[in-house]
Amino acid sequence: MNKINIILITFVLSFSLQLSSFSQNIPGSFADLAERLMPSVVNISTTTTITTQSNPFPFQFPPGSPFEDMFKEFGAPQERKSAALGSGFIIDEKGIVVTNNHVISDAEDIIVRVNGDKEFKAKVIGADPLSDIAILQLETKEKFIPVKFGNSDKARIGDWVIAIGNPFGLGGTVTSGIISARNRSIGLSRYEDYIQTDASINSGNSGGPLFDMNGDVIGINTAILGRSGSIGIGFSIPSNSAKVVIDQLIKFGETKRGWLGVRIQDVTKEIAEIEKLDEPRGALVASVASNSPSEKAGVKAGDIILEFNGERIQEMKQLPIIVARTEVGKKVKVKIWRDKKEIIKTITLGRLETSEDYKVAEKEKSQKEFEIKSLKILVREVTKEDIKSRNLPNQTSGLVITKINNDSPLFNSVEVNSIILEAQKKKIKTINDLDQAVKKVLGSNQKTMLLVIYNIENSREYIGINLD
Catalytic residue among 206, 236, 241, 292: 206
287: Cβ contacts below 8 Å, ≥ 6 apart: 262, 263, 301
Q: Which of 96, 169, 182 is nearest to 139 (CA)?
A: 96
132 in catalytic set: yes
Task: Estimate the share of the chain in helix, then strand, then coil, as percent rounded to the nearest 5.
Answer: 25, 35, 40
Q: Is 112 helix (H, G, I), strand (E, B) or coil?
A: strand
386 in catalytic set: no
* CB contact at 8 A, 77 and 51: yes
* DSSP 8-state secondary structure symbol assigned to residue 446: -
Q: In this structure, how many other beta carbons lie within 10 angstroms of the beta carbon of residue 75?
A: 13
308: β partners: 311, 334
Catalytic residue among 40, 45, 87, 102: 102
CA distance 304 to 299: 10
32 in catalytic set: no
CA distance 247 to 231: 33
Backbone φ, ψ for residue 438 (5° rounding): -65, -45
CA dihedral 88, 129, 152, 176 (to 10 degrees): 40
Q: What is the dihedral sign for C-alpha 264, 390, 292, 240? A: negative
Q: Which of 324, 326, 305 is nearest to 314 (CA)?
A: 305
Catalytic residue among 45, 131, 132, 241: 132
**Dihedral-angle region of residue 197 (phi above 0 means left; psi in -120 to 50 means alpha; beta otherwise):** beta
Angle (CA) 455 458 461, round 5°:
50
Question: Catalytic residue numbers?
Answer: 102, 132, 206
